[in-house]
Amino acid sequence: MTFIPLFFAIPLAAAFIIPILGKIAKSVIWIFVTLVSFALFVLALYGTAVTQQFPMIVYKMGNWPPPLGIVMAFDSLSAFMVLVISILVFAGSIFSLRYISHYTGQWKFYTLYMLITAGMMGISITGDLFNMFVFLEIAAISSYALVAFGVGAEELEASFKYMVMGEVGGLTFLLSIALLYAKTSTLNLADMANVLQVVGQTPFFWLVLGMMLLAFSIKAAFVPFHSWLPDAHPAAPAPISSLLSGIFIKVLGMYTTARLVFNVFGLNRANAPVFFNVLIGIGLLSIAFAGITALSQKDYKRLLGYSSVSQVGYIMLGLGIGNYYGVAGAIFYILAHALGKGLLFLTSGSVVNATGTRDITKLAGLGEHMSTTAWSFRLGSLSLIGLPPLVGFFAKYLIILGALKAGFWWLAIVAIALSVLTLGYLLKIENNVFMKKGRTKASKAPFTMRIAMVFLVVLIVLLGIGFQQIIDFLVGPAANALLRGVEYANLVFGSVGVSF
């Protein structure tokens, strides 16, 4: 069974077929992209099913054994990330048909869309540090271009700012890889985990870890480094905002942090309590600061951008708590926020498409006219706020449960109190755009846009109702994959002989 490289080979191949299709048959591009996204979705479901049996599938690129060659290490966490990515990519590609039709050079959009997908997929499944950097740059560079896709003054400024910040992060990551390589003479994650156990927690160890944390904090937009996100995510076309806020910052920032901290550096709450308290601090700062800033925003998408910064803080909080419930909560939150925020950005695209403005003070009374959009927004925000039985509730519940089990009762109270901020800023949009009396001139959302939104709404409701299955089959194994720590290395080297 050799399906693992297909996760990035299919979107990469699609990305280079699209320019050729763009010259000969423009009309089939969208169908092609949607089919490819759907194929990735099916493949991700299959991958998730396979990881139920095999905790770790190692794929040797070119049949070179690790640590000599590059390996793809596909475990439950990778399967989970790949599944979430493919859901949002699929929804975004359906949504794009009508949204992108105003732009010129649509094939460029879809090429970049497939490249960003390939980059994110690659980061999630690679077992090699430098390979991770390469995929990270593929995804990041595509995202710079996609943010600037509108080529207006606002888009270009946002993209430039994002590119400068993003490259500071990317190059810091590269420098820390170079330092690690000099010390450990290996780039394979599993091999590096073994060597780092021998090196121990020296000042060098903490220097490199600090640099990586800095790099990923920039990529995930934690609060001192968040300033690019509220510019960049609103400037991008709506399906891209949905992809960037929904999953991109989590793959580039959170997944990489979690994978390296737990599985490669071998840290856990027991052997590095101070570091994990720092993670909690970063999380709380993001939740509070960005949440308060979001309250004063007037731009629909900019408000959602600040909301993303704030919500990602919860994921870091869960990782910082560091016990099973905290980590499982963080992983569940990745899913919940991806669906919720992805959906909210799609509704913003629907509103912008219908009215041509993002200023919520100028919009009014869209609730009756654009009922699908309005109800999608309502369900998405209720899930983000954490209302049972929607998917967001169970994610937040697990994090708070983790805080209580770890003895941080004050943290549980603060986390609940801060979620009032979420209610506050999302009600602001609801109140202004959908509930307020009056009537902005608007056309109904096109059919494909509604399909994409309803797809995510259905997932939010269904996954919320079936939360026990999600925890048992998706989130639990993924959390255990992180919490097994440097046992990861033994699994990778142990499963090399398996014929995957």
Partner 1 sequence: MKGMSLIVRTITTVMIGFIFVYGIYIILHGHLTPGGGFAGGVIVAGAFILRILAFGSEPGGEKKSEIRASIFESVGALLFIGIALAGMVVAGTFFLNFLPKGIAFNLYSAGIIPFCNIAIGIKVGAGLFSIFLALAAVKYVVKD
Q: 115-138 burial string, b = 16+ CB within 10 Å, else e?
A: bbbbbbbbbbbbbbbbbbbebbbb
Q: Which is closer to partner 1, CB of 71 or CB of 384?
A: 71
CB of 408 to partner 1, least distance (A): 45
Count Cβ atoms within 10 A of the Cβ of residue 324 and give its class: 0-12 exposed, 13-18 middle, 19 or more buried: middle
Total residues in contact with partner 1, by rule CB under 8 A: 16
Candidate segments 8-16, 98-106, 233-241, 455-463, binder of partner 1 by CB under 8 A: 8-16
Q: Which is closer to partner 1, CB of 153 or CB of 270?
A: 153
Q: Which is closer to partner 1, CB of 5 or CB of 150?
A: 5
Half-sphere exposure of 195 (CA within 13 A, CB side): 15
5 forms part of the interface with partner 1 (CB under 8 A): yes
9 forms part of the interface with partner 1 (CB under 8 A): yes
19 forms part of the interface with partner 1 (CB under 8 A): yes
CB of 282 to partner 1, least distance (A): 37
Alpha-carbon span 228 to 164, nearest angstrom: 9
Candidate segments 18-26, 96-104, 311-319, 376-384, binder of partner 1 by CB under 8 A: 18-26
- Alpha helices (H) in 148-263, listed in sequence order: 153-184, 189-199, 203-220, 229-235, 238-243, 249, 256-258
Pick from 27, 53, 63, 468 the residue near partner 1 by CB under 8 A.
63
Pick from 37, 43, 47, 59 the residue near partner 1 by CB under 8 A.
59
Alpha-carbon span 432 to 455, nearest angstrom: 25
Alpha-carbon span 262 to 485, nearest angstrom: 5
CB of 12 to partner 1, least distance (A): 6
Count Cβ atoms within 10 A of the Cβ of residue 64 and give its class: 0-12 exposed, 13-18 middle, 19 or more buried: exposed
Q: Which is closer to partner 1, CB of 24 or CB of 198?
A: 24
Alpha-carbon span 460 to 466, nearest angstrom: 10
Return the beta strands (E) in 330-451 as ranges.
Answer: none
CB of 84 to partner 1, least distance (A): 23
13 forms part of the interface with partner 1 (CB under 8 A): yes
Pick from 39, 50, 61, 364 the residue near partner 1 by CB under 8 A.
61
Q: Which is closer to partner 1, CB of 9 or CB of 416?
A: 9
62 forms part of the interface with partner 1 (CB under 8 A): yes
Q: Which is closer to partner 1, CB of 69 or CB of 273?
A: 69
Alpha-carbon span 247 to 221, nearest angstrom: 13
CA–CA distance from 174 to each of 166, 179, 208, 277, 396 (Å)?
A: 12, 9, 11, 26, 34
Q: Which is closer to partner 1, CB of 19 or CB of 281?
A: 19
CB of 494 to partner 1, least distance (A): 19
Candidate segments 16-24, 205-213, 237-245, 282-290, binder of partner 1 by CB under 8 A: 16-24
| Residues 386/314, Cβ–Cβ less than 8 Å | no
Q: What mask, x for binding partner 1 by CB under 8 A, covers residues 371 to 410?
A: ----------------------------------------
Pick from 12, 147, 212, 214 the residue near partner 1 by CB under 8 A.
12
Question: Residue 359, SS3?
Answer: strand
17 forms part of the interface with partner 1 (CB under 8 A): yes
Pick from 32, 45, 55, 60 the residue near partner 1 by CB under 8 A.
60
Q: Which is closer to partner 1, CB of 17 or CB of 414?
A: 17
23 forms part of the interface with partner 1 (CB under 8 A): yes
Instruction: Report which DSSP code applies to 103.
Output: S
For residue 307, the Cα-to-chain-centroid distance in whole angstroms is: 14
Q: Which is closer to partner 1, CB of 54 or CB of 206?
A: 54
CB of 72 to partner 1, least distance (A): 9
104 forms part of the interface with partner 1 (CB under 8 A): no
CB of 170 to partner 1, least distance (A): 20
57 forms part of the interface with partner 1 (CB under 8 A): no
Strand partners, 287: none
Alpha-carbon span 127 to 500, nearest angstrom: 15
Of residues 76, 81, 80, the one with CA closest to residue 477: 76
CA–CA distance from 83 to each of 90, 162, 250, 458 (Å)?
A: 11, 27, 13, 16
In the complex, which residues of this chain contact partner 1 (CB under 8 A)? 2, 5, 9, 12-13, 15-17, 19-20, 23, 59-63
